[in-house]
A and B are shown apart, each in its own frame.
Chain A
Amino acid sequence: MKPFRYERASGVAAACAAAARPAAKFVAGGTNLVDLMKLQIETPAHLVDISALPLSDIEETAEGGLRIGALVTNSTAAADATVRRRYPLLSQAILAGASTQLRNKATTGGNLLQRTRCPYFYDTTKPCNKRVPGSGCAALGGINRMNAVLGVSDDCIAAHGSDMAVAMTALSARIETIAPDGATRTIPIDAFYRPPGNTPHIETVLAPGELIRSVLLPPPPPGRQVYRKVRDRASYAFALVSAAVIVASDNGLVNAARVAFGGISYKPWRSVEAEAALIGVTATRESFDAAGVSALRDARGYGYNDFKIPLARRTLRATLAVAAGVI
């Protein structure tokens, strides 16, 4: 690990100012950052510890939603009574990720900002445009079975690893931030992650020193919420594909639908195409399959990950079937 200066932030404003300096990083749970620092993939000169800041509350909002503080741990969010009762999708998704030990440390804000697990991002002997801009992408012609099939570029095909963020995307979450100059803003989660394009090292729209304060969940949409994760082993593995769905139907006709995928893009992938394809159709395995075809129309495989395209379609079909009670 490269040497760094460790600083405990005394308040939100001080934290933002400290982290706005070059080569400065926030640290909270540290479960991803410390790992990457050991590998010298992350080499911050200043580490700004925000773990004592007062951002650990979960509170109901006036409009009937929920505000989850950036420092709420994944375990706390998943075990929260309101989350479990009104946003079971979020609880399920968080519990699908990592292990209890990691969820006890990992925070809401840190989970959103986790880096990709593309094996070539981790392998410092190989080119990676995300790790070393301009060096190339070893995943394109490499063992890319964990990589993305939607929304990526020929400079980077890394997939985002979060489960939590997939549920938040289906729930139309908004991310509340504060900048070093004190300005606050609210960013829809679907606009939070930047497409890789030819700058895959720039992953979000956050400015230097801008701090995630909380995640705002609107009131839950109508319908049954189900998260399903498909992976190489039964637990404690990143998703090959995951699906977060919320479906409401009346007399067998779907009248409301939310669909988001994990494991197939640089961000949690909200599929407005699948949602549009579901509205008004009879809830059957065939119509659910058609929604999956719509969702994956623009998908492109890179060899080893070709299987993700039919797998995502089938995972969506199976998850919708559970949510709609169609066996």
Chain B
Amino acid sequence: MQSPTPPRALTSRRRFLETGGVATLALASSPAIAEIAEQSSSSRSRNTESVRLTVNGRQHALDLDPRTTLLDALREHLALTGTKKGCDQGQCGACTVIVNGQRINSCLALAVMHAGDEITTIEGLVEDGDLHPMQAAFVRHDGLQCGYCTPGQICSAVALLAEHKAGWPSYVTADVATAPALTDAEIAERMSGNICRCSAYPNIVAAIRDVAEGGRS
């Protein structure tokens, strides 16, 4: 099958968001604003923890209320809004990020417990401005409708391939002592932690299968 042209619209939208994010950070780091932010935060609560988070290869020093989830730290403190808040209770998978190579629900993780960990979000999957092969496959296979669950789906799918490569079994693996082939049933089971309310599942499975097979279908 001939593949469609590269997703220029998506790329430029992402670039726009990135630019916006950088501008926000630059504002926040100007001395006057930083002072106001510090005053208001100390008047609210002195119970904060200094946390160093490594996100997409960059280190960030944050002062966080220990109640802050990793999801809120990413979105509200680091302006990395690619990671989505869906249910905020570990049931939908929209907040999936990759920590030390493993996918987790960032909504159920306290940011203070992830100091020193290597955190990868959807923003960190792009390499030299090119979409990650999994992102490109989702576009190619139309693995989304509204797109809200997509960053979580893609982070989950990237980690899924690494888990499968490491030989992990799943609940549908007939003999858990063996390393199973990545059938559609295996992909569906392994992606069950990511809910898609638009039900784009067939195309999500197709996108993952495509990348697993190492090329374009």
How distant is the Cα of A249 from the Cα of B182 in the complex, in angstroms? Answer: 34
Q: Which has the most chain B C-beta neighbours within 10 Å: A34, A99, A105, A234?
A: A99
Which A81-106 residues have C-beta < 8 A from chain B?
Answer: 84-85, 88, 91-92, 95-96, 98-102, 104-105
Distance to closest chain A CB from B75 (angstroms): 16
Partner pick for A85 among B166, B167, B170, B177, CB 8 A cutoff: B177
Binary interface encoding of chain B residues 145-157 relative to chain A, with 1 for a CB under 8 A from any of its CBs, else 0:
0000000000010
Contact indicator B108/A31 (Cβ below 8 Å): yes
Does A78 touch B at the CB level, under 8 Å?
A: yes
Does B104 touch A at the CB level, under 8 Å?
A: yes
User: Which residues of A sit under 8 angstroms from B29, Cβ to Cβ?
Assistant: none
Which A15-57 residues have C-beta < 8 A from chain B?
Answer: 27, 30-31, 34-35, 37-38, 47, 49, 51
User: Which residues of B sit under 8 angstroms from A235, Cβ to Cβ?
Assistant: 171, 188-189, 192
Does B47 touch A at the CB level, under 8 Å?
A: yes
Does A6 touch B at the CB level, under 8 Å?
A: yes
How distant is the Cα of A104 from the Cα of B190 in the complex, in angstroms? Answer: 12
Contact indicator B163/A31 (Cβ below 8 Å): no
Q: Provided the pairs A101-B105, A236-B193 are in contact, do residues A27 and B113 lie with their beta carbons within 8 angstroms?
A: yes
Binary interface encoding of chain B residues 48-62 relative to chain A, with 1 for a CB under 8 A from any of its CBs, else 0:
010000000000000
How distant is the Cα of A310 from the Cα of B167 in the complex, in angstroms? Answer: 37
Distance to closest chain A CB from B122 (angstroms): 15
How distant is the Cα of A91 from the Cα of B177 in the complex, in angstroms? Answer: 9
Does B169 touch A at the CB level, under 8 Å?
A: yes
Smallest CB gap from B188: residue in A: A235
Q: State the majority secondary structure of interface residues on B.
A: loop
Contact indicator A3/B166 (Cβ below 8 Å): no
Partner pick for B171 among A5, A88, A95, A102, CB 8 A cutoff: A95
How distant is the Cα of A6 from the Cα of B115 in the complex, in angstroms? Answer: 13
Q: Provided the pairs A1-B67, A95-B176, A99-B93 are in contact, do residues A35 and B108 lie with their beta carbons within 8 angstroms?
A: yes
How distant is the Cα of A102 from the Cα of B90 in the complex, in angstroms? Answer: 8
User: Which residues of B sit under 8 angstroms from A51, Cβ to Cβ?
Assistant: 113
User: Which residues of A sit under 8 angstroms from B85, Cβ to Cβ?
Assistant: none
Partner pick for B170 among A35, A95, A104, CB 8 A cutoff: A95
Does A79 touch B at the CB level, under 8 Å?
A: yes
How distant is the Cα of A26 from the Cα of B39 in the complex, in angstroms? Answer: 32
Does B102 touch A at the CB level, under 8 Å?
A: yes
Q: Provided the pairs A35-B90, A101-B156 are in contact, do residues A5 and B47 lie with their beta carbons within 8 angstroms?
A: yes
Smallest CB gap from A99: residue in B: B193
Q: How many residues of A contact B (CB 8 A)?
A: 36
Smallest CB gap from A103: residue in B: B193
User: Which residues of A sit under 8 angstroms from B173, Cβ to Cβ?
Assistant: 95
Q: Provided the pairs A4-B67, A105-B104, A235-B171 are in contact, do residues A31 and B45 lie with their beta carbons within 8 angstroms?
A: no
Contact indicator B192/A99 (Cβ below 8 Å): yes
Does A144 touch B at the CB level, under 8 Å?
A: no
User: Which residues of A sit under 8 angstroms from B103, Cβ to Cβ?
Assistant: 100-101, 104
Contact indicator A101/B193 (Cβ below 8 Å): yes
Does B206 touch A at the CB level, under 8 Å?
A: no
Contact indicator B110/A30 (Cβ below 8 Å): yes
Contact indicator A101/B169 (Cβ below 8 Å): no
Partner pick for B66 among A6, A84, A105, CB 8 A cutoff: A6
How distant is the Cα of A244 from the Cα of B16 in the complex, in angstroms? Answer: 53
Smallest CB gap from B167: residue in A: A79
User: Which residues of B sit under 8 angstroms from A4, Cβ to Cβ?
Assistant: 66-67
Partner pick for A101 among B45, B65, B96, B167, CB 8 A cutoff: B96
Contact indicator A6/B192 (Cβ below 8 Å): no
User: Which residues of B sit under 8 angstroms from A100, Cβ to Cβ?
Assistant: 103, 156, 159-160, 163, 190, 193
User: Which residues of A sit under 8 angstroms from B200, Cβ to Cβ?
Assistant: none
Does A75 touch B at the CB level, under 8 Å?
A: yes
9 A/B residue pairs, CB under 8 Å, sorted by A: A27-B110, A75-B163, A78-B176, A79-B167, A91-B169, A95-B170, A98-B193, A105-B104, A235-B171
Residues of A within 8 A of B (CB): 1, 3-6, 27, 30-31, 34-35, 37-38, 47, 49, 51, 75, 78-79, 84-85, 88, 91-92, 95-96, 98-102, 104-105, 229, 234-236
